[in-house]
Amino acid sequence: MWIPLWPASSAISGNVINALFTAELVVCVLILALVFGLIWVFCIRYRHSTTVDRGHPSQRSWVFEIGWTSATLVAFLVLFVWGANAYVWLYEPPRADLELYVVGKQWMWEIEHPGGQREINALHVPNGKIVRLVMASQDVIHSFFIPAFRMKHDVVPGQLETMWFQPTQTGTYRLECTEFCGTEHAHMTGEVIVMTPAAYAEWLSNQGADKTLAAQGEQLFRNYGCSGCHGVNSTVHAPSLVGLYGSLVHLNDGTTVRADERYIRDSILLPRSQVVAGFAPVMPSFSGQISEADTLKILAYIQSLNPSGNAP
Amino acid sequence: MTSFADTAALPKNYLNERWSVRSWLLTTDHKRIALLYFASITMFFFIGGFAATLIRLHLVVPSGGLLQPDTYNRMFTMHGVVMVWFFLIPSIPATLGNFLVPLMIGARDLAFPRINLASWYVFNVSGAMVLLALFMGGIDSGWTFYTPLSTTYTNGYVTLALLAVFINGFSTLMTALNFVVTVHKMRAPGMSWFRLPLFIWALYATSIVMLLATPVLAMTVLLVALERMAGVGIFDPALGGDPLLFQHMFWFYSHPAVYIMILPAMGVISEVIPCFARKPVFGYAGMTYALMAIAVIGFLVWGHHMFTAGISVFSAVVFSLMSFLVAVPSAIKVFNWTATLHKGRISFQAPMLYALGFIGLFTVGGLTGLIVATAALDIHLQDTYFVIAHFHYVMVGGAVSAFFAGLHYWWPKITGRLYHEIWAQIAAGLMFLGFNLTFFPQFILGYLGMPRRYYTYAPEWQVWNVLSSAGASILAVAYLMPLFYLSWSLFRAERAAPNPWRATGLEWQTTSPPAEDNFSRTPTVTEGPYEYNSSTGGCVAQNGALYE
């Protein structure tokens, strides 16, 4: 029987983590070998029944202490810098080729593709492309984990989270929830299917989606009455949303924010917390009236109003 | 009881001075309170251990054959709550600490004996509440009580458990306050700060952490209870709260709580190693600075539990740096213990075997701590079995091994009887083997991506889970053994001399077991705590016998 000890990495992030993990493992084994080796040697050589020389124990203990304190400090700092660098790289998404929307709820993952294709507990992605996930939770904290990519991010209710990956190998991989979320936490699992770009395109076209996510969002944009104020022909004094996504927004408290997914979501649910400069805080909150899935669709529509914008 | 007569023939001591139940339940003697605490935490250790046994049995097959999902969730929650608050945190401080702090510094009791007794009662009230929650149906939020799961999505007795943890905190605070005041004000003449045994330094550092961290837990728990019962929005986003605020507040306590568990363990090891190596501890001053450094830096690392939770990249990097820094003083301690062995005259009685086991397991736990402190690696490892293995190596391999090291080392002093050496050595060996077999496979499971708190798992992970469960059965036997041979020794074993290990330290200068007032005259201290001589194997007698 083959015992899996070292799981295959199927994404760029996996290679980064594997290299770093191997390096730290080597450092750990070296330190362990040193400490355990010394303990064994001392325990055998200086066991009570032997008659070796025990005189003149070193009086200058501080020389050793300063020595090994600085040695460990330097070694640890090297590992820290490597790890911190990798962390920043792994969690700061580059410009994405494809953006997908994920909603976690007890106990399933719901995934929406930009073309309106929807899947549950499965995630189809094209190989070699940079995929960015915009994630929301409908209830408690979940965590989206793909072990083969060595990549995870918690999905915290009340805010949008993002993560990204770039698969390097086609295949089917495990998808798991890693934040305890209630009775069936262990069944909040699924599959990530990495396909060739051609196969992915074919898969998309076979899903029978009639409307893109942005088009569904546009419909909701009218249904929820957003267009009454933010629409092109509106007479109400409200900020236009054309070209908003990814741009810098000046707020009436003098600060500036980038209009990323989080900002847009917060503006829908908590419109009075970040008011655009020059506008009155008159928008009502949609908190509790709109599901996370609908919020993501409206977000997709607002994003589509600025095709060139890709918030970092 | 055959031993009744010959115990009564002994000189008066704290055990045979009074016999009534009342004299135990209303005692203000720190030694008796230590034994009361010992009875309580032993019970909780086996309750928590029973939950762990069910978990490991359940996970032998991938589909999870034994428990319903909800029952499984309640078992790991109960295991965590009981082991953290009702065993590990009080384990060494409330038993060995209560017994030894006055004896080691040459005092007759702790500064506030009645508060000490009250602490035991408060502890038991909270313990009864958590047992009530268990028997009424359990707690289903995980021991970390993450919101909004714990506030709005669970139907177990979470509020009751939270109040139990809240009340439990007061017993911790009373013990800590007692230790701090006692160490400051009641040291014998000549017992200067740098002549204190490292066990006292360790408990002093622990008490400071307890005093500063526990109130934050109390606030957090009260806020959760308030949200659950009154609907005030603090952590629940649906009410305008922030779930991450809970994690910040919870880990601001719960990470220092790890040091509450491990610092006393380090103190025990620092007593045992010099005694059985017949050498002064290497770098005494460095050891005290390392203890205090761990206590202080330990307050600045809580964010490493939240690397994947969506905290800012900048704060994650800072928390990662602090976590690497806190590992430096821990490494210093391991190096100093190892150096203490050099040119020693080493013998391998049970306390020393447990202590050497501690160094091995704690070092593995500490080094894998570096791996999870590396922010990037934690992205992969967070909430997998790798983390479980890591913290069990520190808390069970470390703190529990040290607890057993100390228990065997001071057993003759506490009970006046010698335990059975061969049985104790076998138990120590089994514990080390069983522990490694239980938890080492979990490192591999974690890297393979098995998440924690799963009642069912993928079939390809079965081989590691079976190994782990096999190890757990060895570990269970090893933990039951001391219960039997130590109990047996209470009635049948040979009587202990005042100083069977020929150890330094004031506690060994009085009778075994000590008299109710510890010393018949106040000792005067003229030298450091570890005046062993490895060339002769002896030690410099401090003051001759301090109790005639």
* pLDDT tens profile B469-520: 999 999 999 999 999 999 999 988 889 888 999 998 999 989 989 999 998 8
Query: Which of B347, B449, B455 lies at the smallest CB-CB distance from A147?
Result: B449
- pLDDT, chain B, mean: 92
Q: Do B375 and A83 touch (CB under 8 A)?
A: yes
Backbone angles phi, psi at B273, to 5 degrees: -60, -50
Does residue B382 sit at the A interface (CB-CB below 8 Å)?
Answer: yes
Does residue B155 sit at the A interface (CB-CB below 8 Å)?
Answer: no
A200 and A103 share a domain? yes
Interface of B with A in 51-80 (CB under 8 A): 64, 69-70, 73
Amino acid (one-letter) located at A301: Y
The single residue listed with the structure tokens 């961290």 is: B213
Does residue B466 sit at the A interface (CB-CB below 8 Å)?
Answer: no
Reduce the DSSP state of residue A79 to 3 states and report it.
helix
Q: Which of B475, B476, B473 is nearest to B60 (CA)?
A: B473
In a domain, A274, yes or no: yes
Question: CA B267, CA A307: separation in Å to the nearest integer?
Answer: 63
A153 and A197 share a domain? yes
Alpha carbon of B538: minimum distance to chain A alpha carbons (Å):
12
Instruction: Locate all alpha helices (DSSP H) within B186-312, ordered by sequence.
Output: 198-230, 243-277, 284-297
Does residue A40 sit at the B interface (CB-CB below 8 Å)?
Answer: no
CA atoms within 13 A on the CB side of B155: 3
Question: Which residues, at least 6 apart from A78, have a Cβ–Cβ distance to it below 8 Å?
Answer: none
In a domain, A57, yes or no: no
Q: Give the domain extent around A173.
A: 98-205
Question: CA B167, CA B222: separation in Å to the nearest integer?
Answer: 11
Q: What is the CA radius of gyration of chain A?
A: 27
Q: Which of B483, B527, B523 is nearest to B506 (CA)?
A: B523
Given A205, A221, A238, the domain boundary residue is A205
- pLDDT(B368) > 80: yes
Q: Do B380 and A62 touch (CB under 8 A)?
A: no
Does residue A167 sit at the B interface (CB-CB below 8 Å)?
Answer: no
pLDDT of residue B528: 86
B155 or B102: which leads in pLDDT: B102
Q: Give the domain extent around B156.
A: 31-509
In a domain, B536, yes or no: no
Token readout for B332 is 């210093």
Q: What pTM, to 2 d.p., does this model score?
A: 0.91
Burial class, B6, CB count within 10 angstroms (exposed 0-12 / middle 13-18 / buried 19+):
exposed
In a domain, A37, yes or no: no
In a domain, B201, yes or no: yes
In a domain, A46, yes or no: no
Question: CA B182, CA B112: separation in Å to the nearest integer?
Answer: 8
In a domain, A28, yes or no: yes
Residues of B with Cβ-Cβ distance to A20 under 8 angstroms: 374, 376-377
Backbone angles phi, psi at B517, to 5 degrees: -100, 20
Interface of A with B in 4-33 (CB under 8 A): 4-7, 13, 16-17, 20-21, 24-25, 27-28, 31-32
How far are the Cα atoms of A62, A65, A145, B245, B494 from residue B308, in angstroms, in the given order? 40, 36, 10, 15, 56
Interface of B with A in 356-375 (CB under 8 A): 356, 359-360, 363-364, 367-368, 370-371, 373-375
A277 and A231 share a domain? yes
Average pLDDT over residues B58-81: 92
How far are the Cα atoms of A80, B263, B358 from residue B329, in angstroms, in the given order? 16, 11, 17
- Neighbouring CB atoms inside 10 A of A176's CB total 25
A171 and A127 share a domain? yes
In a domain, B520, yes or no: no
Does residue A183 sit at the B interface (CB-CB below 8 Å)?
Answer: yes
Alpha carbon of B167: minimum distance to chain A alpha carbons (Å):
26
Question: Which residues, at least 6 apart from B29, have a Cβ–Cβ distance to it below 8 Å?
Answer: B14, B109, B113, B516
pLDDT by residue (tens digit) across B241-285? 899 999 999 999 999 999 999 999 999 999 999 999 999 999 999
Query: Which of B334, B343, B346 lies at the smallest CB-CB distance from A47?
Result: B346
pLDDT of residue B225: 82
In a domain, B518, yes or no: no
The CATH number covering residue B262 comes to: 1.20.210.10
pLDDT of residue A5: 59
Q: In what order do the strands lie in the sheet with A151-155?
A: A122-126, A190-195, A171-177, A142-146, A151-155
A81 and A139 share a domain? no
In a domain, A6, yes or no: no
How far does chain A reach from its first CA to its final CA, in angstroms?
Answer: 46
Question: CA A275, CA A251: separation in Å to the nearest integer?
Answer: 6
**CB of A93 within 8 A of CB of A312?**
yes
The single residue listed with the structure tokens 């362990």 is: A32
pLDDT of residue B5: 40
Amino acid (one-letter) located at A89: W
Amino acid (one-letter) located at B412: P
Between A and B, how many residue pairs show a Cβ–Cβ distance under 8 A?
A: 257
The single residue listed with the structure tokens 């493992």 is: A25
In a domain, B387, yes or no: yes
Output the DSSP codes for B462-527: HHHHHHHHHHHHHHHHHHHHHHHHHHHHHHHSPBPPS-TT---SGGGGS-SSPBTTB-SS-----S
pLDDT of residue A208: 78
Looking at the structure of chain B, the number of domains it has is: 1
Q: Which of B339, B258, B254, B247 is nearest to B294 (CA)?
A: B258
Confidence of residue B1 (pLDDT cuts 50, 70, 90): very low
pLDDT of residue A240: 83
A219 and A274 share a domain? yes
pLDDT of residue B51: 95
The CATH number covering residue A180 comes to: 2.60.40.420
A119 and A177 share a domain? yes
pLDDT by residue (tens digit) across B132-172? 999 898 899 999 999 889 888 888 888 899 999 999 999 99
- Residue B461 DSSP symbol: G
Alpha carbon of B75: minimum distance to chain A alpha carbons (Å):
12
Backbone CA torsion sign across A251, A253, A258, A260 = negative
In a domain, A139, yes or no: yes
Question: CA A263, CA A250: separation in Å to the nearest integer?
Answer: 12
A85 and A121 share a domain? no
In a domain, B362, yes or no: yes
Question: CA A187, CA B455: separation in Å to the nearest integer?
Answer: 9
Given A92, A107, A129, the domain boundary residue is A92
A250 and A274 share a domain? yes
Residues of A with Cβ-Cβ distance to B448 under 8 angstroms: 4, 7, 147
Q: Which of B35, B191, B32, B208 is nearest to B104 (CA)?
A: B191
Looking at the structure of chain A, the number of domains it has is: 3
Q: Angle B283-B284-B285 (CA atoms, 0-180°, nearest 5)? A: 95
pLDDT of residue A283: 87
A79 and A134 share a domain? no
Residues of A with Cβ-Cβ distance to B234 under 8 angstroms: none
Backbone angles phi, psi at A143, to 5 degrees: -145, 125
Question: CA B462, CA B57: separation in Å to the nearest integer?
Answer: 12
pLDDT of residue A2: 47
Residues of A with Cβ-Cβ distance to B341 under 8 angstroms: 38-39, 42-43, 46
**CB of B310 within 8 A of CB of A159?**
yes
- Residue A172 DSSP symbol: E
- pLDDT(B3) > 80: no
pLDDT of residue A28: 93
Residue ranges for chain A with pLDDT beneath 70: 1-5, 57-59, 309-312
Mutate to test the interface with B, among A152, A191, A295 (most CBs of B within 10 A): A152
In a domain, B546, yes or no: no
pLDDT of residue B8: 47
A151-155/A142-146 β-pairing: antiparallel
A119 and A195 share a domain? yes
Q: Please report the ipTM that was assigned to this predicted complex.
A: 0.90
- Neighbouring CB atoms inside 10 A of A144's CB total 26
In a domain, A48, yes or no: no
Q: Do A76 and B348 touch (CB under 8 A)?
A: no
B226 or B403: which leads in pLDDT: B403
Burial class, A88, CB count within 10 angstroms (exposed 0-12 / middle 13-18 / buried 19+):
middle
Alpha carbon of A26: minimum distance to chain B alpha carbons (Å):
11
- Neighbouring CB atoms inside 10 A of B84's CB total 21
A153 and A176 share a domain? yes
Residues of B with Cβ-Cβ distance to A288 under 8 angstroms: 238
Q: Which of B137, B153, B126 is nearest to B77 (CA)?
A: B137
